[in-house]
Structure 1
């Protein structure tokens, strides 16, 4: 592929020759036109004597000019925008005048996003919780930063940044950085000040720690904040901010527990932005400002564990970053491992093992969906041929990665031996990147002479498709309670004909259960009845006892709806469609759309609902659901 980076098949940039180490950005947000104008000043370190060009990634960006910045003067530079690739976008090749190895220069790019920019979603007032002001938020993972600014859009090209953001005067801007009262961009004057006079105000930010471009994050809306700890606050629209402050009150516990395992939290602030419902993920680990979905607002803190996962990213992914998307497991597998360590210390080892068993089920589902020999089920998949990393997204890097780390921990003698290595790994690769072979080499170096490591089949774990080559053993005590209750309902209606004997069941069956156990019960029932559905009368009897339809926990609602669809309970259809259009989290909408589409009673509803409401979803979610429904090819 012309212009493709020699190291990252998902980027067309050339960081091996000319590396961007810092960017100073000025954004002007135009909510009416739904575009963002920017001037991006890139500090470039020349790494090769033969370097003649700086090559950046872009996608649907309107590039107006490129300049060489020297103090207050600018010199125009020749540039060319390459042919557009469907997944990778277009390369931006900028000619560099007479540079030599070791030189450091500043290259400026004037650009404007497209209204179809995949990195940002503009919301009309009616799409927000408050309904009175517009809103904007970004989602740059995996390779969408290139549609916001020209950049070296590969995890291996980490950079610091400073930014000024102009937004309408009644709104607040936030970024994945520490806010500043003054403009901290070292080399740039304000270019949009005259345009902003009387209509916009400026917000300033500084990120001193190097981050990969996918962690560049931006949001703007009618926002308020509430402090929830000595270094944390919740930001949200006024109608949700109090609920968010209550729900995430345990954030400092997660932070301090993470520090005890992985080392100092170096980012300063850990704030949370509770986003409008269309945010497509449960959370996004943007440094200093985690983005979370309002589907976490259960009213009882039962879903706040998602924050533990995003906090774990502060060390795994943000501080130590996978070199390319093919090594994504080094991000997510490590994060899940640390997340479960945090939950285990706060709630006991049985909770660690309970989540591990739930993760194994999610992994099995992903392997089944892809097929056991599909290359995307390998820990290190090949993403050659211009593939979009979003297409490979699944639980595989999360759960197969976690299982590999747990297997390594068991092999070397348990947590007391492995946790010091885990911490040393973070310290060794902090502020840099790592690939799977580097991880392997350091592991072997650290545990040299340890009995058993010679038997580790690295190739099978890293490159073999399907389920893990070794089956780990976990404490199933909490999971067994959920499985036992599921078996009771399964056997009571084993033929799916209704009228089963459930006299021994009562509301006390699930009294004292965590929300995750309820979900495990429902998921187990779905597994047991994968071929023959429960009878609708059985499902209704279950709801009479356990009141699942009244739950505010979105995880429970999601599993409950799928069970009802499988059972053919037509009365659930209005509740499912309401859930589908009141939030856009892909974890929920994709399985529910697929379940409706694959059911006799719901296929037309799935197509009609998506066709009518697809505009409320984030562009990434629109694409993935359209593929699920067969409206576009995969």
Structure 2
């Protein structure tokens, strides 16, 4: 009897152990306010994408096949928005599925029936004209004006509009893709990429490192590749290749500098594709292939901090990813800090401090803009029932940076660098919440070195704590004195600006006195021709001042309109439309916007629609 009891006990123990292993095969995931998926019940692990890019009808059609793990679930839920779902299979056989109620922000839950032992699902689908991630460009909207162009923008929750997927940053997958495009065009993705065009327009891709869905990216156009080093290079349209290659020629040095700081680059290749000017961001850190705006090509490498920023994301964001969009500061605050360290290593502390000082001014303006909603100035946000894009602002970037810089100055750079290097190594290819970061910070830096720091105040309170690091720049103090001298003497001395960097020029323009007269602006414009600046950043801040102070000289109104029609970078255009609105010139803004809107990606258009109260007919 004892033997039978013992044997029965062993059987029960083994069965319990197997059951526990199955239950533990799926890690524990945080409840995600921006995804219908329930990864604790069933989760995708690998994607095989097989699609055709149809420029004539401006749709993508094909199938997305997933390897899955399930926790004895009878259903797996994907996110889908503005997609036509044609059929779904489970392990190669048709299965039942349904689309739940539509949510304006989130789209529809795609509910797929599965069994306990289902290992694969396949969704046959096509995009629609409402798909928000895709921008289809006519030839005249490209640099070379010969062929059409397509690019995707998945961050934050737009990947679900071109692929049915569990669109949460805490879901990490590997993927392979087969993409058919017109034979005269090349396709590239956030994966291993071709360097030359194929004859038949068929391209295959592989991403072996697990990434979050918002980082799956595709671009299709008449593009070429030019290497900078064995692991860095440029994709661009033919007329842009040489310009981009020169502008970004320091990329290999940037990668080497980053590795010296925080460990080996984990993605094998770091390439950049220069997209048409409608791309809504400065850059997007898609692994192995950063997407970049042409507005950073100034001819003098003066705006390449953007490339340092996107490279830094290879550690903070791509390697260690925010678990939810409420934790977005973990991606961007760390990346701005890392960007500044790369810039300091390559170009010196003065330049890094000037960049940081401009960011500090941006932060001050952002906080003022949120005076009626102070909770939006917290690092840890609550974006439930809101678009996660609402958290993509200077708070995440520049308050996050200021928190880390203050922490570095408190702990000492040597200790802080060891902490960060270990942080990236410990959490590589995983996601992390703010609360998990705080625990790791306490255990591995603060308690370890007996350091007192007001972490919770920085993260969970609004505004900026009093112990903030002070970012000073002697060069900016000189710039401010130069402004005063020009205004006081009614005379411009060009010798004072002879060796200025772009950062000094931006600080100069942004810090004009509030009561500056139009004749002073005319005097400055005549001396430096800022209205016709070839540097998009300088032009943008100058145009903002022209709007603020009713300056209409040097045909600046036409230049502003041309700029807003040609450029789709959300930061730039929203700054100018905001200036129109702030100065009670909304009618003028809408007149331009009616001409420009069709050139903007949905990310930019949605922002300006809300800002100006624009309604489509």
TM more than 0.5: yes
Contact in 1 for aligned 2:60/2:126 (Cα 8 Å)? yes
Q: Given that residues 547 and 580 in structure 2 are in contact (C-alpha distance below 8 angstroms), is that contact kept between their aligned partners in structure 1? A: yes
Matches within 5 A, 1:589-600: 589-599=573-583
Aligned to 2:80: 58
CA deviations over 1:23-57 (Å, ceiling 9, x no partner)? 010110111111100210111112x23x1110111
Q: Which runs of 5+ in 1 are unaligned?
A: 183-197, 493-500
Question: In 2, are the aligned partners of 1:168 and 1:199 still within 8 Å (CA)?
Answer: no
> Counterpart in 2 of 1:547?
529
Residue aligning to 2:104: 86
User: Residue 97 in 1 paired to residue 109 in 2?
Assistant: no
TM-score, normalising length: structure 1: 0.89
Match for residue 188 of structure 1?
none
The answer (yes or no) to whether the contact 1:364–1:467 under 8 Å persists in 2 is no
Query: Is the Cα–Cα contact under 8 Å of residues 77 and 111 in structure 2 kept in the other structure?
Result: yes
**Is the 8 Å Cα contact of residues 285 and 291 (structure 2) preserved in structure 1?**
yes
Asked whether the 8 Å contact 1:33–1:115 carries over to 2, the reply is: no
Verify the 8 A CA contact 1:403 1:468 in the aligned structure 2: no
Structure with greater proportional helix content: 2
Summarize deviations over 1:462-483 as a string: whole Å, max 9, x none: 1112234532122321321222
1:419 equivalent in alignment to 2:417: yes
What is the CA deviation profile of residues 69-107 of structure 1, one whole-angstrom value per residue up to 9, with x for unaligned ones? 3xxxx21111110111000110001011233xxxx7111
Greater displacement, 252-261 / 437-446: 437-446
Equivalent position SS for 2:511: helix
Q: Deviations over 1:337-367 (max 9, x none)?
A: 1000001111222222222221111111111
Q: Say if 2:94 is the partner of 1:76.
A: yes
Change (3 A) 1:199 1:118: farther
- Secondary structure at 2:69 match in 1: strand
Partner of 2:462: 465
Aligned mates of 1:300, 1:76 — CA distance in 2:
57
TM-score, scaled to structure 2: 0.92
User: Structure 2 regions of 5+ residues with no counterpart?
Assistant: 1-28
Deviation of 1:447 (Å): 2.5
CA deviation digits over 1:140-186, x for unaligned, max 9? 0000000011111011001111101100111000000012699xxxx
1:440 corresponds to 2:438: yes
1:115-514 to 2 correspondences below 5 Å: 115-179=129-193, 201-371=201-371, 373-384=373-384, 386-412=385-411, 414-447=412-445, 449=447, 453-454=451-452, 456-489=453-486, 492=488, 501-503=489-491, 505-514=492-501
CA distance in 1, matches of 2:478, 2:229: 35
SS in 2 for 1:14: coil
| SS of the residue 1:22 aligns to | strand
State the partner residue of 1:561. 543
Q: Which moved more, 1:539-548 or 1:479-488?
A: 479-488
Q: Give the structure 2 partner of residue 621 of structure 1.
A: 604
Report the alpha carbon displacement of residue 223 of structure 1 after superposing the two structures with TM: 0.7
Q: Name the SS of the counterpart of 2:154 in structure 1.
A: coil
| Distance in 2, Cα, partners of 1:631 & 1:578 | 20
Mean Cα displacement is larger for which, 287-296 or 464-473?
464-473
1:327–1:436 CA contact under 8 A, matched in 2 = yes
CA contact (8 A) 1:565 1:572 kept: no
Q: Is the 8 A contact 1:38 1:149 kept in 2?
A: no
The one-character-per-residue Cα deviations of 1:561-618 (angstroms, maximum 9, x if unpaired) are 1111222122411010011111111111111122234446x54331111112211100
Q: Verify the 8 A CA contact 1:42 1:107 in the aligned structure 2.
A: yes
Matching of residue 39 in structure 1 with residue 39 in structure 2:
no
Q: CA RMSD in A?
A: 2.0
2:48 counterpart residue number? 24
| 3-state SS of 2:45 partner | strand
